[in-house]
Amino acid sequence: MRRLEALRRMMADRQIEYFLVTGAANRRYLSGFTGSAGVLLVSPERCWLVTDFRYFEQARQQAPDWELYPQKGKLSEALGQLFREEGVTRLAFEKEHITYAQYEALAGLGLELVGQAGLVEKLRMIKDEGELEAIRRAAALADDAFAHILSVIRPGMREEEVALELEYHMRRAGAAGVAFETIVASGPRSALPHGRASSRRIEPGDFVTMDLGCVVDGYCSDLTRTVVVGRADEEQRKVYDLVARAQQAGLEALRAGRRGSEVDAQARRVIADAGHADHFGHGLGHGVGLEVHEAPRLSPQAAGPDEPLLEAGMVVTVEPGVYIPDWGGVRIEDLVVVREDGCEILSRADKRLIEL
């Protein structure tokens, strides 16, 4: 209910009387409801959860402070009836979480529609202690899975087998699921930042980059480590050391009061000074919470007059990488909590260059 009141204060500042919440993560954040279908309607005095028969009992259990409004036909029909009962003529909605077909259905109800972006997401950026505890547990499961896989990887093993073993280990240890499709990229394929695990067999001397995460109580973790199967050569050691130094620069720059683009620049400068500017093409990091990619961003693309300052309690990744086509790549990623005087690193997995 504290989250709901915070949203209502934002609505008052924007002169919003009725706000429709359709984003799944936002719906869960505000109400606690985890069903896959339903929307929220918020006014200054009341709040409704609109869902269908499949979720009536679940909604009553998970969102007891919300008025359950049954959807017996199409969602647009249920909303139209609710709007008429409440005399709604002007409706704010989440323009990032609605399809054009849904917009047309709302427009057909004769309302004045006002698109809003990022209201609930802004609240979600700063995690409370309960959220942080869930993220810590998810991070610990990812750490354990990485430690486990070090005893499993061997030449001849398929990338898909590595991904499956990582996912199974996290699920067996208590994760509700994976936070995203596990990335395993070996040899030249490690130059693919988001290389989906393939049937390629790992060869002696390969870099193997693994990007993994899981979900605990709805909250995600995100971890990347790169290892060498066999002995690392001089160039592999050089690139790995460069990425490790860039990551350390990012971690040292991260604290409340700074901008994400400024933190990104500190790590990016290390890579650029080594002549690899063109081999680091993504942002340094992103927020993690109910979704594995959420606000804020540590990226040059975030720079501008509207870029928010980092605040204590935000959870972000710090994940520089160097990706050299036809050769391979390295990424090192930690999950961290922004603090007033620096950052708290949640990821505990070994970051030294590991040779298997």
248-286 per-position pLDDT tens digit: 999 999 999 999 999 999 999 999 999 999 999 999 999
pLDDT, residue 86, reads 95
Q: Which CATH superfamily is domain 2-124 in?
A: Creatinase/prolidase N-terminal domain (3.40.350.10)
Q: Which CATH superfamily is domain 129-345 in?
A: Creatinase/methionine aminopeptidase superfamily (3.90.230.10)
Q: How far is CA 245 from CA 113, 233, 270, in A?
A: 49, 18, 7
92-122 per-position pLDDT tens digit: 999 999 999 999 999 999 999 999 999 999 9
| Nearest Cα to Cα of residue 204 among 239, 234, 233 | 233
State the number of CA atoms in the 13 A half-sphere of 229 facing the CB.
25
Rounded to two decimals, the pTM is: 0.95
Which amino acid, 7?
L
Q: Where are the domains of the chain?
A: 2-124, 129-345
Confidence tier at 15 by pLDDT (50, 70, 90): very high
